[in-house]
Chain A
Amino acid sequence: MNYTIPTVDWSLVLPFALVALTGIVALIIETAHPKRDNGLIIGVSLTGLAATFVLLLTQLVLPPARTFGNMVLRDQFSVLLQLICVAATAVCFMFSDGYLREKKIAFGEFYPLTLWALSGAMVMVSTDNLLMLFVGLEILSIALYCLAGMSRSEARSEESALKYFLLGAFASAFLLYGIAFLFGASGSMSLPDIQKAVTGLTRDTLPMPVFGVMLVLVGLGFKASLVPFHQWTPDVYQGAPTNVTAFMAAVSKVAAFGALARVLVAAAPLHQYWFEALYWIAIATMCIGNLVALVQKDVKRALGYSSIAHAGYLLVALLAYTRDPDKVSLGTTVFYLIGYAAMTVGAFAVVSLAAKGDRDGSRYQDLHGLYRRAPFATVMLVLFLSSLIGIPPTVGFFGKQLIFLDALRTGLVPLAIVLAVNSAVSAYYYLQIMVAAFVSEEGAARPVSRKPGAGMTIGVCVCAAGVIFASLLGGYVQETTRTAALQAKPVPGRVQNQMEVINR
């Protein structure tokens, strides 16, 4: 047997290794001093995240590279997404301490578990190998199942964890099944290989890769909460502790869309077999997310549906890109994810202030009086919600504008219209949340809650800075991903597909 041991470029795995190691150190500290002050754990975790962030920044300018036998990939796309995940996690940590104290959740494990979930998400976006992708997904998911059920005293938290676990397992089964199909069709788990293999298939060889792509999309669609695989989202977002929800909404979505982008790019040669399906899924996702959010009575639930709607917007960006990668850039998706992470984490951070005692007050009326209690955070909530609506000059506006223009440029006019109409519809429930936060009297059942701590203020400020200043990054992100997202270039064979022909 003639096998050369591959050389390993450790710098590629260093970011998520660093995060995982930080998690281990944090756990050791927790075991040494169980259920004590978590200050040290937070300090260590934030230091580790900061180091990772800096490390990733240095890697942003490096050329794309692979290691571990092409199992790990580092390109600008992966680095940017990892940066988003790390920053979002750091903000979650900043406001978690106050929230966990308020809810009397004494688990120091929150921090190591979240760090490991983060490392899973980072793995997911740093590979174009389906096996690695699955491993990353499971690392992320299993940690999240535990985190969702962290609030032991609340039945809803337990329930959400179990629901998430059962449905997640169900979705994983589809994903694995799809991977198996694709492996069978191409003899490889590597997306570039699969892409090559599915180009130019005949009638007899087509079904297997097409079914494989479909099933993988089901698995990732679950993670990204696309309709009709979305129903876990509101339940879990509502039931999980708010800081976990924030993490889940941001990091989990970034990872899912990172993976989805790579899979769709690889599946571009089969464009004609899945495009229409995803087209309708995008419309359904946008509409159902927003319409159902209208009738919600619970802020976290409404934001859960909002995250479904935003998944729909993101899918539009991806569809526009896979339809015509020459005209539009994958940077739109990345840019929107930056903005989405900032505004969503920020919104959940402020909403977490509604918690009182050991229960999670998150109905609209639980927000009453928030402005009296935490004026700065509430004003920032207005900013985040404005961005979620898409009011200029926030990043939410520019992100939506980019998606809108991309859709128009690639001829997806109906999607652009649905997007615009949904933006208008969404204003209603976001404004409802704003109004609730400014209603002056606090409910009688709610004695005065804690004042927001410094961590909350800093975290909210970071998100606000993201919402306001990320707009400036638009051009840079577009340019970076365009020149450097090497693996995201679809093969040219797809011009022959029928939709294109019809459109000409």
Chain B
Amino acid sequence: MDTSAFNSVWWIFALPVFGFLWQCLAGKIVIDNLGDKLGKRIMGASAVLPIAAAFFIAVDLTGKLHSMPAESRSVVLTLFDWINIQSLHVPFEFRVDALSMMMVLIITGIGSLIHLYATGYMAEEKDYPRFFTYLNLFVAAMLVLVLGNNLVLTFIGWEGVGLCSYLLIGFWYKDVANSKAANKAFIVNRIGDFGFTIGMFLLIAQVTLDRNIIGITDPRWLSFDVLLPHADVLFKINPEITTMAALALFVGAMGKSAQFPLYLWLPDAMAGPTPVSALIHAATMVTSGVFLLNRMSPVFAAAPQAGAVIAIIGAATSLLGALIAFGQTDIKKVLAFSTVSQLGYMFIGCGVGAYWAGMFHVTTHAFFKALLFLGAGAVIHAMAHDQDMRNYGGLWKFLKITGATMLVGWAAIAGFPYLSGFFSKEEILGAAVNSDTVLHLGGYMWSTGQVAGWIGFVVAFLTAAYMTRMTLLTFFSGEGRWKTIAAGHGHDHDHEHGHHDAHAHAHHHEDPHGFFYSDAEMHARAVAEPHEHHHALDSHHVPKEVPPSMWMPLAVLAVLSLVGGAWLKYGVNLEHWLYPGAEAAEHAERVSHPMLLGISFTVFLAGVGFGFWKYAKGLPADEGWDLSLWKRWRTSAGRQFGIDAALTDGSLKGGAMLGAFLAGIDKWLIDGVVNASGRVAELAGGLLSRTQRGYVRGYALLMQAGVVALIFYVIYQLSHLGAGN
């Protein structure tokens, strides 16, 4: 097949790479020579442009793909031979198909909007080019992840986005809390990546063992276009191993996509700048787990048990995230837990076999969650970098554009009928409650798919409620509460202290060290130069609408959140577009479509109604500043029900205990044996050296004794053996 029409896919990858190189090599020079304002404008534009150009190329490629017959909509392009050993070739190859292009469109499209937003949001930042260096590199790595045509390339992208996520969470690294959040994200992801590699090697082992049975002769057998067509036969030879491999890959997805119990890095990741939260920790990177499940769907299809586990873990995650969101007062934290919750939805979809529905929700979620995060960023920007919703209220009067667009986002995520979130959620929950996904465990069959679906409806109610809470507390619910703050000192911020963006703006001085500070150093610095609260929130603050570079992306995303779902469902026919071969098998329709619609409407109305009832009048006293008035469950939700602390402390203390135990073994047993053998040797040497007393007569005596011994030995041998021959 002539693939030259698709050669421009290399540009999609190359443009962000060039952008990355340009930012990191030329950024400082440009800004130093052209001045802060012009330099930043140039660097900002040159950060947005490559991503936007890549987006248009991707649109073009998708159009070409669309014009091809459905069964041949998959093009593989090879750049160079990367790994070439005896019977295995792993080329550096990209795959252009519906799934990868869909992700590419999300990454470059929403990515360029967020880049544009960030040029405004980060305008005061001193390390401007460093931010865009990381951001462009992230886009490049994410593109490798989704475009790679084999698991090895996917893994490169997987690690690349993990690295960029780490770098961006810790972007304001002078604040130790941010560095610790970055470390946490990186370390928790390590667990997931370990699962990914194990899954990958289990698959490789299966292929190498059974390759001849299947008859794969192509040495590129790690490539998807060679491997996956054989999947339904190959992975049914050893179903147990396939299930293990699928679960191991899912562990990888759990790490990246923040599923319980590996979700706990994502809330902390909000320490990064808000555009990062929108792009990486809402729209793209955290959905790469869902992408992986879609990409490897033949493997997961061959492992229905793994699917049942995935569905129930997804449901648990979504429920947990929604509950915890009620206990949060930091607007970004609410959105973070909402992301955790929505990611759970996506995994419910994948778990019950509706992979396309998972991808559908990835897309719509990218629209409305990016919108909400960017909107939250705009609010934070307008509110002097205060993130506590208890200080907001009545912002609608000041922030019309932000408020309007965020209202669209709220409606979309809450499940307002016929907005984007509504459709994708509907598809997932419909597939789940009608699914026959069962888990065989302990001799029973657990219909985890249906349970997950019903949990999903509960979560839909909760989502509508907590999103209404957030929206009302921010934009409505009476007059602005920040006006009650006495000038000069804010409310007693009793939790989530060091995570505020505001901290970064106190650091406008040179960084003499270049990187990390120890706790002691940080303390010393804090003493030496106290935090300048040069624009802290106080009663005289007047919120101002954000500049166009920031609200324009909001507007675009709002439009997408409004109509994107309907367009993808009816305009594109996403299910057919993604999985043309497998038309939706007609379910037994135990729960009919109209009934589902009815339930959805009901839970939406109930959730929103509850929210209005509770929050329309203003900040309720039982979740205000006085924490002692909080209900126990809400306090507990605020602390993530202690899961984070338990897991973190447990692993730290457990690790320390294990380390101490092993150190003890090392010290007492191994060192003991080693040292004892040394002692024994020395002791023996000491005793033996006693025989050496320096007297010639002694030496001669020993010689004589030796001779006598030899003579006796010879006499014994002679008498014993006789003449041997």
Contacts and interface: CB of A to CB of B under 8 A. Distances in A.
B702 interface: yes
A235 B681 CA distance: 22
B682 interface: yes
A294 B696 contact: no
Contacts of B706: 218, 227-229
B681 to A, nearest CB: 6
B721 A232 contact: no
Contacts of A170: 700, 703
A428 B678 contact: yes
Contact of A222 (B681, B685, B703, B717): B703
Given A163-B699, A166-B700, A295-B689, A272 B710 contact: no
B718 A228 contact: no
A231 B692 contact: yes
B699 A232 contact: yes
A497 B724 contact: yes
Contacts of A84: none
Interface in A170-208: 170-171, 174, 199-203, 206-207
A234 interface: yes
A214 B714 contact: yes
Contacts of A217: 710
Contact of A294 (B681, B702, B707, B721): B681
A277 B714 CA distance: 9
A229 B703 contact: yes
B713 interface: yes
A288 interface: yes
Contacts of A211: 711, 714
Interface in A208-246: 210-211, 214-215, 217-218, 222, 227-229, 231-232, 234-235
A124 to B, nearest CB: 21
A71 interface: no
A290 B682 CA distance: 10
B725 interface: yes
B725 A174 contact: no
A277 B700 contact: no
A273 interface: yes
A210 B714 contact: yes
Nearest to B692: A231
A295 B710 contact: no
Given A218-B707, A288-B688, A203 B702 contact: no
Nearest to B684: A291
A217 B718 CA distance: 17
Contact of A206 (B681, B691, B703, B718): B718
A273 B707 contact: no
A214 B699 contact: no
Interface in A277-329: 277, 288, 290-296
A167 interface: yes
Interface residues of B, number: 31
A203 B703 contact: no
Given A292-B685, A294-B685, A425-B681, A273 B703 contact: no
B722 interface: yes
Given A202-B723, A228-B706, A292-B685, A166 B696 contact: yes
Contacts of B688: 288, 291-292
Contacts of A291: 681, 684-685, 688
Contacts of B723: 201-203, 206
B722 A203 contact: yes
B530 interface: no
B694 A235 contact: yes
B696 A167 contact: yes
A320 B44 CA distance: 79
B674 to A, nearest CB: 11
A228 B702 CA distance: 6
Contacts of B718: 203, 206-207, 210, 273
Contacts of A207: 714, 718
A179 to B, nearest CB: 15
A493 interface: yes
A238 B691 CA distance: 17
Contacts of B724: 272, 496-498
Interface string B480-521: 000000000000000000000000000000000000000000
Nearest to B702: A228
B645 interface: no
Nearest to B703: A229
Given A203-B722, A218-B710, A295-B682, A272 B717 contact: yes
Given A218-B706, A228-B702, A425-B681, A493 B725 contact: yes
Nearest to A217: B710
A498 B721 contact: yes
B593 to A, nearest CB: 75
B705 interface: yes
B69 interface: no
Contacts of A166: 696, 700
Contacts of B699: 163, 167, 231-232
A270 to B, nearest CB: 8
Contacts of B711: 211, 214
Interface in B661-704: 678, 681-682, 684-686, 688-689, 691-692, 694, 696, 698-700, 702-703
Given A218-B710, A231-B692, A231-B699, A273 B721 contact: yes
A234 B692 contact: yes
A166 B701 CA distance: 12
B324 to A, nearest CB: 58
A274 B724 CA distance: 13
Contacts of A497: 724-725
A206 B722 CA distance: 8
Interface in A452-504: 493, 496-498
A242 to B, nearest CB: 20
A267 to B, nearest CB: 12
A493 to B, nearest CB: 6
Contacts of B702: 228, 231
Contacts of A200: 725
Contacts of A202: 723
A302 to B, nearest CB: 11
A292 B713 CA distance: 26
A167 B700 contact: yes
Contacts of B696: 162-163, 166-167
Nearest to B695: A163
Nearest to B700: A170
A217 B714 CA distance: 13
B714 A293 contact: no
B654 to A, nearest CB: 37
Most buried by A among B685, B706, B718: B685
Most buried by A among B698, B707, B722: B707
A453 to B, nearest CB: 34
Contacts of B717: 210, 272-273, 276
A428 B685 CA distance: 12
A296 B692 CA distance: 12
A217 B711 CA distance: 12
A294 B684 CA distance: 9
Contacts of A288: 688
A228 B703 contact: yes
Nearest to A273: B717
A218 B713 CA distance: 14
A234 to B, nearest CB: 7
Interface string B622-654: 000000000000000000000000000000000
A171 B707 CA distance: 10
Contacts of B685: 290-295
8 contacts: A167-B700, A218-B710, A272-B721, A276-B713, A277-B713, A291-B684, A295-B682, A498-B721
Given A231-B692, A276-B717, 18 more contacts: A171-B703, A201-B725, A203-B718, A203-B722, A206-B718, A214-B710, A214-B711, A218-B707, A218-B710, A222-B703, A231-B691, A232-B699, A269-B725, A273-B714, A291-B688, A293-B685, A294-B682, A425-B681
Q: Which are the 4 A-B pairs with shortest beta-carbon distances?
A: A228-B706, A291-B685, A231-B699, A294-B685
